[in-house]
Structure 1
Amino acid sequence: MSTGLLRASVCLLLLLFLHQKLAACADGADSFTYSGFRGANLTLDGVAAISSGGLLVVTDNTVQSKGHAFYRTPLRFKESPNGTVFSFSTTFVFAFISEPADLNGDGMAFLVSPTKDFSRALGNQYLGLFNLSSVGNSTNHVLAIELDTTRNPEFQDIDNNHVGIDINNLKSDESHTAGYYLNDTGSFQNLSLRSGQTMQVWVDYDSHEMILNVTLAPIAMAKPRRRLLSAVVNLSSVLLETMYVGFSASNGPFLTSHYVLGWSFKMNGVAQALDSSLLPSVPRAKSNHKLKVLRIGLPLASSTLVLIIVGTVVFILRRRGRYSELLEDWELEYGPHRFSYKDLFRAAKGFRDTELLGMGAFGRVYKGVLPSSGSEVAIKRVSHGSRQGMREFIAEIVSLGRLRHRNLVQLLGYCRRQGELLLVYDYMPNGSLEKFLHDQAKPALDWATRFRIIKGVASGLLYLHEDWEQVVVHRDIKASNVLLDNELNGRLGDFGLARLYDHGTDPQTTHVVGTMGYLAPELARTGKATTITDVFAFGAFLLEVACGRRPVDPTAHEEQLVLQDWVVEKWRKGSILETRDPTLGEEYAVEEVELVLKLGLLCSHPLPTKRPSMRQVVRYLEGHAPLPELSPANLSFSLLALLRKEGFDDQIMSCPSSSVATASVLSGGR
């Protein structure tokens, strides 16, 4: 054999060897199988942990928490940055345990991500994946298979028990109610993700056909032949060359543990089957009932021993009296929403003045840090002198805790102690919008920020009025109840006066509560708080944000006493833009300011039938529909005169920041 032929043979052998190595890398080197997670090569953050029994606990029994677990090493999903994504297959076994069983956290997702750092992601409905600014961005490069146990209308969820395929977003490309199809009949069988039942998921991507399949079944079953979800999607533009695989989960105010029992993954092949006999066991849900009385029988041998026991009991009672609280039998069913006074007392450092965030008509608000989770919260202390209606009110507080929207402040729960009710909310670091509008010490907000806040509050109100399972009438919409998060997004808060009723039913007459200037004139006559009275308050809010003035200002000149009347008069004279907040300067969008001023007048129209719904309001603000033709002549009668005619007297009119009701819902007006 010649030297040239020998060299050619060697080169050919080397090329074949390299090709085999590349094929091995693409066809099976990137694979792993965990039957339990003891000693697993995982990166954990948040509350995620591996239990002593080998369970992967993505979130534990902690409220307002999130957790992530990733395979520590990135996997190669492409041969080159611009190449085609490899086929891949994964399967995992999971279970969700809630306490109590009928109230659950937000769910869990399997994800493929370019990073393991989700420190800026939000929990609750965001599943620990995105935040307000990142959700929906194509730069996320995230594929997620969500197992969602909460219906969030803002993400167009189909129900509160579904599986979804998410690409860079929480609005699923494809979704289906959780369940599986029988092989013999093809009929669909529902599965409840929150049932505590152990289930298995299979995720398979065929890069040649560009088809992503998701299958779900109880652990005792083999993989069904028919897929639950099947979507045609080209992941080559979504996934990068190397990616991490793992899980993310989150809890809101409900106690849920999200467990993964086993996990298998393989690139360019079928993931190894999991042997259910090798998987760890899932703990049973603990009982939520508490013993109310501990009975201790001690033999008394002498009078000295009696004195010792009596002294000890007195000491303990005095010490516990500091943290004593009211707890009745009917409240046990609301377990997750009930905070202990001891925890809240410690969270707010004994409710010192240094932790005081503000004071309102119904109580003081303190900043706190929960000792169990380190979460920052706002704690509102409200006096209640009567037990009348308290059970119904607490039931509504628990219901309101299930509200989930990015423009609502999350109500986490409550505590009762002696003559106090304590309401616990998410903490908003930038405080209320009112301070930015009326406090000289705060910097003025530019128009773009104000307009974003307005649209956010409108979106939150639409959710309350139409998109949630019940109708929620807030009854106290005003700038001081719009709180700003760390990105200056507006969130409507303080649901202490909110009323709930079923869609299609008529709200009941109640005490008139709220703040003068935001109260619809018909309230004094009917006593019925409805969605349309909320719209009136929102209209007053729109004018306040655009003009930088309170709806009623007794210190102003007579023509400016009622903000709505002043704006109408300026509009009649052809100078409506002169009512804008002077701190805006010349940096504002003329069309948007004019839209907000006219929409504010329309929403706060004295005649209820003339006001739009919040769905129409959102369409106007988003530019999806033109504002109806309006003229100042249609609004050119005095709101001040009408309010007096309806029964709001001069004394009340002179106190624009006070609440009308002398007896609030928390003191028997429920």
Structure 2
Amino acid sequence: MLIIISRKQSPRSSAALDDDPELNVELRHFTYTQLKNITNDFSVEIGRGGFGTVYHGKLDNSTEVAVKVSSQPTAFHMNRQFLTEVRNLLQVHHKNLVSLIGYCKDREHLALIYEYMPFGSLHDHLRGKYETSRALNWGERLRIAHDAAQGLHYLHTGCNIIHRDVKTSNILLGSNLEAKIADFGLSKVSGNNSSPPTFSVVGTLGYIDPESHRTQSLNDKSDVYSFGVVLLELVTGELPVVTRRDRVHIVEHVKGELAKGNIDEICDKNMKGEYDTYSVWKVLDLAMRCTAETAAQRPKMAEVASQLDESLQVELSWRSKNVLTESSNSGISGGVLSLSSMGPSAR
């Protein structure tokens, strides 16, 4: 669920989008007719987001792409969101961020064309959407978390960008399970002044930083909170709002289980107990720090990435000693996830 509270802004002609020189830098422009051809008349939907619907497409050179089409192309705030996403993506170049290939602004039609991530979203894998593929093991989950943390760290320190909607459905996976952060439609460029910027309430329920929601202020620690929720999902396999018993937020659910000291009751049963306990404890401790009540108590993403790397090395060492079937180079273990079983429905 997405919450957007708009504020009135000074009028700006939509033609300004066409005149903006930034949109013509290093990007391919597509006409709406070309988009229809690329997507086979928008026949395969692979996702939905705050900006609009995402379709699978294929360029003339057979390169697969994800085409995000605005659901409200004539609305002013959607034009602004479109321009924000394009400008932000022009700034970012990192192996753990989804790349923008091109855009379309053809009369009332707005669209963004991204690289295609064939293994879909982390959310879908944790939810068991792909019935013929096995569950992610702990080593894979740690590597995915580490990749995503590096992408967020780059956004915060290299671009001064706050994502604002960090969640498992915005962490996409490549053919080798490499993870990339996606969806910058809600992102915000940070200011250089000392006071945090005010903002409209945006994000997804369960991931929104309670302090930012309460104070209507924003900083990079808001993303850290959301990422902490992602870490808890990776450990537990639960949704942000746990519904096995009473409806309770995952942070409170894990706090209660931690007090009992039984890690096996916390961990996702799909991992079948095949993990290094110390590695999991380290990540749980990190996740609880990320989801601390105040921003001042939370770590920076640089520390988060470093701690996840340490946990990953502990896990890989444990796996090598326990002779689990794995790839020693990638840290990916278990059977091969089936790409063919996912098809173009994987975003």
TM-score by shorter chain over 0.5? yes
Preserved CA contact (<8 Å) 2:23 2:86? no
- Relative to 1, partners in 2 of residues 1:357 and 1:390: Cα closer, same or farther, differing over 3 Å? closer
Mapped contact 1:414–1:424 kept (Cα < 8 A): yes
With over 3 angstroms needed to count, the CA separation of the structure-2 counterparts of 1:398 and 1:586, relative to structure 1, is: same
Query: 562-571 or 380-389, which moves further after superposition?
Result: 380-389
Q: How many positions carry a matched residue from both structures? A: 293
Aligned pair in 2 of structure 1 residues 530, 420: CA closer, same or farther (>3 Å)? Answer: farther
Residue from 441, 444, 466 that aligns with 2:135: 444
Q: Relative contact order, CA 8 A, sep 6+: which one is greater?
A: 2
1:356 & 1:538 partners in 2: Cα distance? 27
Tell me the CA shift for residue 572 of structure 1.
1.2
Residues 506 and 386 from structure 1, CA distance in 2 versus in 1: closer, same or farther, beyond 3 angstroms? farther
Aligned match of 1:619: 306
Mark the CA change 1:404 to 1:333 in structure 2 (over 3 Å): closer, same or farther.
closer
- Aligned mates of 1:333, 1:507 — CA distance in 2: 27
Corresponding position: 1:334 with 2:26: no
Structure 1 segment 350-369 matched on structure 2, within 5 A: 350-352=41-43, 355-369=44-58
- Give the SS at the match of 1:381: strand
Structure 1, unaligned runs of 5 or more: 1-324, 625-670
In structure 1, the residue matched to 2:208 is 519
Distance 1:333 1:397, change over 3 A: closer
Aligned partners of 1:375 and 1:505: how far apart in 2? 44
Query: How far apart are the structure 2 equivalents of 1:449 and 1:339?
Result: 36
Give 2:86's match in structure 1, choosing from 381, 392, 397.
Answer: 397
8 A Cα contact 1:357 1:366, kept in partner? yes
Report the equivalent of 1:599. 286
Match of 1:581 among 246, 268, 272: 268
CA distance in 1, matches of 2:235, 2:23: 41
Indicate how the Cα distance of structure 1 residues 451 and 400 shifts in structure 2: closer, same or farther if over 3 A, else same. Answer: same
1:492 equivalent to 2:200? Answer: no
Residue-by-residue CA offset, 1:145-168 (whole Å, 9 max, x unaligned): xxxxxxxxxxxxxxxxxxxxxxxx
Q: Which of residues 244, 253, 256 in structure 2 aligns to 1:556?
A: 244
- The answer to whether the Cα contact below 8 Å between 2:201 and 2:216 also exists between their aligned partners in 1 is yes
Matches within 5 A, 1:181-330: 329-330=18-19
Q: 1:328 to 1:425 in 2, by over 3 A?
A: closer
Q: 1:575 to 1:382 in 2, by over 3 A?
A: same
Q: Higher helix proportion, which one?
A: 2
The equivalent position to 1:456 in structure 2, one of 147, 170, 175, is: 147
User: Hey, what's the Cα distance between the residues in 2 that align with 1:491 and 1:339?
Assistant: 24
Q: Quick one: distance in 1 between partners of 2:39 and 2:259?
A: 51
Residues 407 and 460 in structure 1, CA contact (< 8 A), matched pair in contact too: yes
Matching residue of 1:646: none
The TM-score normalised by the length of structure 2 is 0.77
| C-alpha distance in 1 between matches for 2:233 and 2:84 | 33
Q: How does 1:621-636 map to 2 (within 5 A)?
A: 621-623=308-310
| Counterpart residue type for residue 113 of structure 2 | V
Q: Is the 8 A contact 2:18 2:105 kept in 1?
A: no
Q: In structure 2, what is the Cα distance between the partners aligned to 1:540 and 1:333? A: 35
Partner SS, residue 210 of structure 2: coil
| Identical amino acids, percent of aligned pairs | 37
SS of aligned partner of 1:522: helix
1:401 aligned counterpart, secondary structure: helix
| Equivalence for 1:7 | none
Does 2:75 match 1:386? yes
CA offsets, 1:183-216, max 9 Å, x none? Answer: xxxxxxxxxxxxxxxxxxxxxxxxxxxxxxxxxx
Larger Rg: 1
| 2:297 paired residue number | 610
